[in-house]
Amino acid sequence: MEKNEKTSLAVQLQTPAKRMFWMEWRGRSITYISVWIVILVLLSLLWFITSKGLQPFLNGEVTLSQFFSSNWNPQDNKFGSLYIMLGSFMVTICATIISAPLGISAAVFMTEIAPKWGKKVLQPTTEILVGIPSVVYGFIGLTLLVPFIGKFVGGVGFGLLAGTLVLSIMILPTIISISVDAIESVPQKYREGSYALGATRWQTIWRIVLKTALPGLMTAVVLGMARAFGEALAVQMVIGNVPNAPFDFFTSISTLTSMITQNMGNTVPSETFNQILWSMGLVLLLITLVFILLIRFITRRRDA
Amino acid sequence: MSQTLTVDKFHVYYGEKHALDNISISFQPKTVTALIGPSGCGKSTLLRSLNRMNDFIPMFRTEGSVRLGEEEIYDSKIDVVNLRKRMGMVFQQPVPFPLSIYDNIAYGPRIHGTTQKKKLDQIVEKTLQQAHLWEEVKDRLHKSALGLSGGQQQRLVIARVLAVEPEILLLDEPASALDPISTEHIERLILSLKEEYTIVVVTHNMQQAKRISDQTAFFLHGEIVERNETQTLFHSPIDQRTNHYLSGQFG
């Protein structure tokens, strides 16, 4: 009888520990397996894009200096993509020049000037805008913007200006919502301290709030730029898709993304043209990497 | 330079809540007045009403008058920004701006229009010396103020307030978040600043009130129960409730 009780006690003590062990083990296994799947997928993607992207150069069909030249003529096996890359940069930079000040100002309004209205009305609105698919933005651009520019501003309507405007509207909500987060994370005490010294609201916003939020605001802008740089569909619909030099707002140009979306279906994998599209994809990947490193760098400086 | 601050039949409401009830008290130049009382008794509310920091609270409403010298501070025509400049406020938590030590001090003068480097240098050195901080930080003026210790940060904040040349100093439990040594620094600093300023200090620490103040007012439930010379109030309080509070029967 006594012995029996003892074992039951031992069992009682042991069982929860054992159960705990299995639960721990199971939980850990699930997370481990998940993370390995993710890493594997990412690595194979990277490997695939890199090997495909480097193929034309390794085969000797195109040299790097040819690829980075401005001589584009696929029929003649000339794949100088300089203007296409510059097109991507131009449209990104122009869109950011419009969106960054607009977005940050709007974020300041929503958090500092009219927080109630901003929280209730503007913030949900921007969140909805983030969720609108890019093809819709492109469609609106194509239907309204392109004819308008062609008729009243200049050129045929397609081109750098249309791309810039569509992109600037697309990245605006991204910039606004991340800027709002950055500004809201500035401690209220900084504002109080500033007001107590006799600062006006504008002085407080300009010298304390924005200054403190600067790393976050820069992150917002860089993320907006990354989105603009990687956007394909909407851009392709309004930019014109002719690889001209992208230094004129009213001529049709091309970007890396629009070139890929436009031609991936019209070429076959054995063609050099198709392989060059992969090289463009690789360039996109590398530049996105630069954006991500930039954000890392900015946020690390904030912590230091 | 320093002014008398007169509070006269002053009421504060937060919506329905009657936070301050018929407060009358005056703060004299070159005097430290301590406001004591249990949490929620209204002492901080009074302090923050004096430089109109409560304006940011929705539903905040006042009756009665607060006068700085001859000026009515709740007059709708008064320049609130300038008023806050004249009444330097130090909060419980030391909150330096995330800028350099130098820029923290120079912030006030800069927003009020001083841009000459030489003038700013002078202000920075003078106020840091006033705040007994100069010796500790003079070699790292352009380093971030966030690297200072809590006690140093609070002295920096006081120096920052002094840099805008206020007439009154409002200190809201300035040492309650600090260790004993830093507290001693702050107390000595307050005593030395008494020579030039009208000082109002809210404190939870009755020993501190005894050490640094000339006048003490005891608050309870939004009213001033008793107000007297500090020595008199602590040694022979007239009101029974003051006596109970001071002897630690509630707090």
Tens-place pLDDT, residues A138-148:
999 999 999 99
Query: Do residue A195 and residue B107 have CB atoms under 8 angstroms apart?
Result: no
Answer yes or no: are the C-beta atoms of A276 and A81 closer than 8 Å.
Answer: yes
Longest dimension (CA), chain B: 57
Distance in angstroms (rounded) separating the CA atoms of residues A180 and A103: 9
**A34-43, A59-68, A78-87, A98-107: which range is least confident on average?**
A59-68
Residue B3 in tokens: 């002014």
User: B112 at the A interface (CB within 8 A)?
Assistant: yes
Residue at B12 is within a domain: yes
Other Cβ atoms within 10 Å of B58 Cβ, number: 8
Q: Which of B56, B93, B160 sits opposite A197 (nearest CB)?
A: B160
Tell me the residues of chain B between 41 and 70 that have a Cβ less than 8 Å away from chain A.
51, 53, 56
User: B95 at the A interface (CB within 8 A)?
Assistant: yes
Return the half-sphere exposure (C-beta side, CA atoms, 13 A cut-off) of residue B207: 5
**A188-192, A225-229, B244-248: which range is least confident on average?**
B244-248
Residue A10 has pLDDT above 70, yes or no: no
Q: What is the pLDDT confidence band of residue B58, given thresholds at 50, 70 and 90?
A: confident
Residues in B touching A199 (Cβ below 8 Å):
81, 107-108, 111
User: A208 at the B interface (CB within 8 A)?
Assistant: yes
Interface test with A, best of B82, B97, B164 (most A CBs within 10 A): B97
- Nearest CA distance, B242 vs chain A (angstrom): 32
The domain boundary, picked from A60, A88, A103, lies at A60
Domain that holds residue B31: 5-99+168-246
What CATH number is attached to the domain comprising B76?
Answer: 3.40.50.300
Residue A39 in tokens: 């890493």
Q: What is the pLDDT confidence band of residue A304, given thresholds at 50, 70 and 90?
A: very low
Query: Do residue B84 and residue A195 have CB atoms under 8 angstroms apart?
Result: yes
Q: What is the pLDDT confidence band of residue A60, given thresholds at 50, 70 and 90?
A: confident
Report how many domains make up chain B. 1
Q: What mean pLDDT do residues A225-248 have? A: 89
Residues in A touching B86 (Cβ below 8 Å):
198
Residues in B touching A197 (Cβ below 8 Å):
84-85, 88, 107-108, 111, 160-161, 164
The domain boundary, picked from A60, A84, A100, lies at A60
Residue at B130 is within a domain: no
What CATH number is attached to the domain comprising A82?
Answer: 1.10.3720.10
Nearest CA in chain A to B146: A304
Q: What is the pLDDT confidence band of residue A170, given thresholds at 50, 70 and 90?
A: very high
Q: What is the pLDDT confidence band of residue A232, given thresholds at 50, 70 and 90?
A: confident
Other Cβ atoms within 10 Å of B78 Cβ, number: 14
Report how many domains make up chain A. 2
Residue at B135 is within a domain: no
Structure ipTM: 0.87
Residue A6 has pLDDT above 60, yes or no: no
A235 and A296 fall within a common domain: yes
User: A211 at the B interface (CB within 8 A)?
Assistant: yes
B228: CB partners within 8 A, 6+ apart: B215, B216, B237, B238
A45 and A125 fall within a common domain: no
Q: Which of A190, A200, A207 sits opposite B95 (nearest CB)?
A: A190
A116 and A88 fall within a common domain: yes
A52 and A80 fall within a common domain: no
User: B250 at the A interface (CB within 8 A)?
Assistant: no
Residue at B139 is within a domain: no
CB pairs below 8 Å between A and B: how many?
62
Distance in angstroms (rounded) separating the CA atoms of residues A228 and A215: 20
3-state secondary structure B77-125: CCCHHHHHHHEEEECCCCCCCCCEHHHHHHHHHHHCCCCCHHHHHHHHH
A82 and A221 fall within a common domain: yes
Residue A124 in tokens: 């949900």
- Nearest CA distance, B94 vs chain A (angstrom): 9
Percent of chain A with pLDDT over 90: 54
User: A151 at the B interface (CB within 8 A)?
Assistant: no
Answer yes or no: are the C-beta atoms of A236 and A262 closer than 8 Å.
Answer: yes
A277 and A144 fall within a common domain: yes
Distance in angstroms (rounded) separating the CA atoms of residues A274 and A146: 29
Distance in angstroms (rounded) separating the CA atoms of residues A139 and B73: 58
Residue B180 in tokens: 């004993």
User: A200 at the B interface (CB within 8 A)?
Assistant: yes
3-state secondary structure chain B: CCCCEEEEEEEEEECCEEEEEEEEEEECCCCEEEEECCCCCCHHHHHHHHCCHHHHCCCEEEEEEEEECCEECCCCCCCHHHHHHHEEEECCCCCCCCCEHHHHHHHHHHHCCCCCHHHHHHHHHHHHHHCCCHHHHCCCCCCEHHHCCHHHHHHHHHHHHHCCCCCEEEEECCCCCCCHHHHHHHHHHHHHHCCCCEEEEECCCHHHHHHHCCEEEEEECCEEEEEEEHHHHHHCCCCHHHHHHHCCCCC
Q: What is the pLDDT of residues A31-55, one digit of tens each?
A: 999 999 999 999 999 999 999 999 8
Helices A160-184 and A123-131 meet at what angle, rounded to 10? 130
Residue A250 has pLDDT above 90, yes or no: no
Domain that holds residue A52: 2-60
- Which residues are registered as beta bridge partners of B202? B35, B172
A15 and A104 fall within a common domain: no
- Which residues are registered as beta bridge partners of A73? A78
Phi/psi at A149 (5° precision): -65, -45
Other Cβ atoms within 10 Å of A164 Cβ, number: 25
Residue A303 has pLDDT above 60, yes or no: no
A78 and A45 fall within a common domain: no
User: A199 at the B interface (CB within 8 A)?
Assistant: yes
A16 and A72 fall within a common domain: no
- Nearest CA distance, A222 vs chain B (angstrom): 23
Q: What is the pLDDT of residues B68-85, one digit of tens each?
A: 888 898 988 889 888 999
A130 and A256 fall within a common domain: yes
A77 and A32 fall within a common domain: no
A176 and A30 fall within a common domain: no
User: A214 at the B interface (CB within 8 A)?
Assistant: no
Which residue has 């106020």 as its token pair?
Answer: B127
Phi/psi at B227 (5° precision): -150, 130
- Which residues are registered as beta bridge partners of B33? B200, B215
Residue at B225 is within a domain: yes
Residues in A touching B56 (Cβ below 8 Å):
192, 195
